[in-house]
Amino acid sequence: MQDLKKLLSFFTIALLCLSNTVVAQNKYEIQDSIFSNTLNEYRKYRVVLPADYYPKSDKKYDVIYVLDGETVVNVVSPTHRLASDWQAIPRCIIVGIDNKFVDGEVMRDRDLLPTHDKRSPLSGGADNYIKFIKEELMSHINKTYATSDYNILFGHSHGGTFAIYSMLKAPNLFSAYITADPSLWWDDRYVTKLAKETLPDLLNLDVKLFISGREGRPYRGMGIEAVENVLKENSPNNLYWKSIAYENETHITILLKTIYDGLKFVYPNFKK
């Protein structure tokens, strides 16, 4: 986790150097928390508002929800800022959902993984996490900020696994899902098997799904190739999806390309 924070900090500094318009982004970040009855605990989150956000305006903004918010927002926010400043995508509200720590131990596996595996004693609470996001966090954000009804979920690694799982379990909760190197190997490729069983019946699924991985052995080892094959054979007509294998990227550096390419995929014909 410490190495991840250091690397993400490096990415943030590099992106900030690309445009003077990004330097002021912290001015628009709000850190807060809500109590979750579902999880029986307080949960921290952070909101990054667009530069042109004005509370009394009638303008509504799409929302990008970011898992592993305390670190991954540091990549998503400046990338989104640059792309929207360059009018490649619309300006959005970003909501980073921070991980919970209990006695110094991160509850990430508990919240993001759909099944329990003895190799990770905390794993298996993804259904509760979906309920928290759907019934508590999203409702709170919609009441507090000028949001549209278009929501995007971004997840990396286990967060990517959670994103695809939530698409299958709570169809149309989000309008689009962007996943970076999802760990679809989890529990003997449980999510891929679930997709094969579930997708043909999701006739009302009207969403976009972007999946990235690393070329070659990692693409197969993470289970991305397998879920790609399932999507080719079983996805309903109204699921607009794309998978891509990047060259010369690591499990961490893939974040940069994924968030930019993913947002471009979600907004293919954006014109300001």
- What is the residue-level pLDDT of the chain in tens, covering all 272 positions? 544 454 445 454 444 444 333 333 455 799 999 999 999 999 999 999 999 998 888 999 999 999 999 999 999 999 999 999 999 999 999 999 999 999 999 999 999 999 999 989 999 999 999 999 999 999 999 999 999 999 999 999 999 999 999 999 999 899 999 999 999 999 999 999 999 999 999 988 899 999 999 999 999 999 999 999 999 999 998 999 999 999 999 999 999 999 999 999 999 988 76
* CATH code (residue 88): 3.40.50.1820
Closest Cα to residue 244, out of 236, 260, 235, 233? Answer: 260
Write down the pLDDT at residue 113. 98
- The sign of the dihedral angle between the CA atoms of 140, 146, 152, 155 is negative
Is residue 271 assigned to a domain?
A: no
Tally of structural domains, the chain: 1
CA dihedral 130, 81, 69, 41 (to 10 degrees): -70
Is residue 107 assigned to a domain?
A: yes
Is residue 172 assigned to a domain?
A: yes
- State the residue range of the domain holding 144: 2-266
- In degrees rounded to 5, what are phi and psi of residue 150? -110, 115
pTM score, two decimals?
Answer: 0.90
d(CA 240, CA 223): 20
